[in-house]
Structure 1
């Protein structure tokens, strides 16, 4: 039979999870969809506007340059003005910019809108990671992050399911199908921003749906977790120079950028390697979203249960490397499809555990800056790799060279993670 303290804990965490995670997850689903939906628009958009693979890759990656530059300023603003108002501001601006992508006609316009979209969305993801740290103790954080972050693979389900129908609106009201896709998938962000503004509390103390006893328990539990982390540096920015933080930046760089290089061209690549039509590729991408969601949920649950983060990151990185190798070299369409599903499961398994590490390395006062820096600096790879991917496509006439190099980057990430694990174990084992 549960004690009163256990009942208090269970009730508080259940209320927080149900009140916050569905809303935040929906917001992230829309943000992820709006940053990569050009992958479905690309075949017809590039053909009609005369964009080469290099133009498309450079423009696709520009999103991440402005995103990276504004990550830390955005997170500092969120900590100052509160999550409710700042996240709502982020959503309305990125929704408007995402819809304006339908108006581009030239490469320079494409570059400008992608750059502005990154600037508009900057801070949403690290802001949410910081925000969840104000509500969820360490023992619950893995599950909380994986349940909100599961929206990223589910965005692939939504895009895969609706992209074909939106593209078939070609000619309606004088718009191309790719324009309908971009407009229809950008509008929900503007609408949802109003919901965030009304229903998202800034801190537990503002939550009318938590009792006084639940708030007191949560405050004490979070304080105990914080006390177990290393004492804060004089300035939160000093945490960015710690070797563990730099290692996480490097891992984020070598696994995030290559994934986006592939994802921004995934429908085109999959059509060429499997022989499926656009609608069938949409269904395959949707199925990949489901395997990604399953991988993320499983690793988030397991890493919390075992309180181990590093192997939960290294092993999926190795699995992703293997899946990309199969996709690059297998001549069999069914094998390629299975490898794609496995890659999505492994990639999002990494994503489900990666953002648990910063809060276990630096003091909570430095988490906002640290998460923003890791995400922002890592996102530079999301500019570099899509650009190089496009250059390789234009130079060789195909995607095989780019696909063949992807396994190397993910194996490099796994090696860094295993090194970080060894260093952390040695530090814990060292005598005081």
Structure 2
């Protein structure tokens, strides 16, 4: 078989076998992480939670998530993705469903903290896992095709949240409890699918021919050999200036987005005057825009083999969109700005996770990706908490919205600094 034909057939088979399953897993993960944004208006009112209580609890997820990211990814590299990712999914699904039992602020804090601990390691584990299956030149498209689950989660939640909230009173449960239970269950079911269908490495893939397995392993090995020599210990990779810069970028672009997302339905309702069902449709449309932005950025980044401008340009666009929303324009402008923000934000996500694999040796990728994601997630605790405090202090979201662009512009500046340092003299 000619090499070009072998390459196409192998990667097509790998993509079709692995990516849909991983996409479904991350879809369930992202839904369970942020579905409280739809539950919040009625949940907070019925349980008496203030904006600061909600923001602090919403952000606590990311503290335990950050603490356990590195240990989780090190275990995954040792025991294999199949068993460890399935374990993560079972535990987070059960904890997510238990959120429906929350009655006090301290119970809310505890369950959110446990949910972060349960889910820790899933996303960086998948990034590491894809690096075992896709050559560098195809990795951007592979990541964007599974990571598209994040914006698609908004589509699913926007489409079904209204119906689930409408079950209020059935079997003695509130609508927000139905929402949390129904959206936690798929993770538990998918865990058993992962155990059955997800091979750890190409060598374990019975659905690849021996020729395809040999080609894929040789190609991955060649890509790995072209990267800088490994550090004497994987931990030493964490102290490279480029890795520290990526931690800061992740901190500055994740935290502000989650602060907004955890209140997005309420903000959009106030800014547009739409009813809850139509707000759900707008959030769903934002997810579709994000999916297109992510797919386009992943394809373009691979085609041009350029990562940094594919980060900096959409970061600036996100800042501009938040600035526009904060300016209280007419409702139609708010809706357009929201859709553009979603497309730009997920374009950043498509390119961001390509950078670690080009900076450190594959032996250090599992640890490095976990550290970048885990330490960056501290911002996902800090920003929602400060956002809630600002809301309680001022009575509105304007102050928080006005400050979001600063974080995204700072992240863009760091990315451009990285680009300048890596340019040949």
TM-score range (shorter-chain normalised) is over 0.9
Give a deviation string over 1:256-307, Cα, whole Å, max 9, x none: 0000000000000110111011100000000000000000000000000000
Q: Is the 8 A contact 2:271 2:328 kept in 1?
A: no
Alignment of 1:330-409 (within 5 A): 330-409=328-407
Measure, in 2, the Cα distance between the counterparts of 1:406 and 1:253: 13
TM-score (norm 2): 1.00
Match of residue 151 from structure 2: 153
Instruction: Give the superposition deviation at 1:224.
Output: 1.0
State the Cα deviation string for residues 174-231 of structure 1 (Å, max 9, x = none): 0000000000000000000000000000000000011111111111111111111100
* Aligned-residue offset at 1:331: 2.7
Q: Residue 150 of structure 2 aligns to a residue in which SS?
A: helix
Report the Cα distance in structure 1 between the residues aligned to 2:380 and 2:114, rounded to whole angstroms.
16
1:406, 1:330 → 2: CA distance?
Answer: 15
User: What is the alpha-carbon distance in structure 2 between the residues aligned to residue 397 and residue 416 of structure 1?
Assistant: 33
Within 5 A, what are the aligned runs for 1:111-126?
A: 111-126=109-124
Query: Quick one: which of 126, 130, 133 aligns to 1:132?
Result: 130
**Alignment partner for residue 48 of structure 2, among 36, 47, 50?**
50
In the TM superposition, 1:1-400 aligns within 5 A as 4-400=2-398
Task: Please give the per-residue CA displacement for 1:132-190, whole angstroms capped at 9, x wherever unaligned.
Answer: 00000001000000000000000000000000000000000000000000000000000
Give the superposition deviation at 1:330: 3.1
Provide the C-alpha distance between the structure 1 equivalents of 2:389 and 2:270, rounded to a whole number of angstroms.
Answer: 18
2:377 is paired with a residue whose SS is helix
Distance 1:262 1:316 in 2: 17
Residue 91 of structure 1 and its aligned partner are, at CA, apart by: 0.2
Distance in 2, matches of 1:250 and 1:11, equals 39
1:76 Cα offset (Å):
0.4
**By how many angstroms is 1:343 displaced?**
0.2
C-alpha separation in 2, matches of 1:284 and 1:219: 44
Provide, for residues 74-117 of structure 1, a one-character-per-residue CA deviation record: whole Å limited to 9, x for no partner. Answer: 00000111100000000000000000000000000000000000
How many Å separate the matches in 1 of 2:292 and 2:42?
32
Query: Counterpart of 1:288 in 2: which secondary structure?
Result: helix
Task: Tell me how far apart the structure 2 counterparts of residues 200 and 185 of structure 1 sit (CA, whole Å).
Answer: 23
Aligned length: 425
Calculate the aligned-residue CA RMSD, in Å. Answer: 0.6
TM superposition score normalised by structure 1: 0.98
Q: Distance in 2 between matches of 1:353 and 1:330?
A: 31
In structure 2, how many angstroms separate the alpha carbons of the residues matched to 1:408 and 1:274?
A: 24
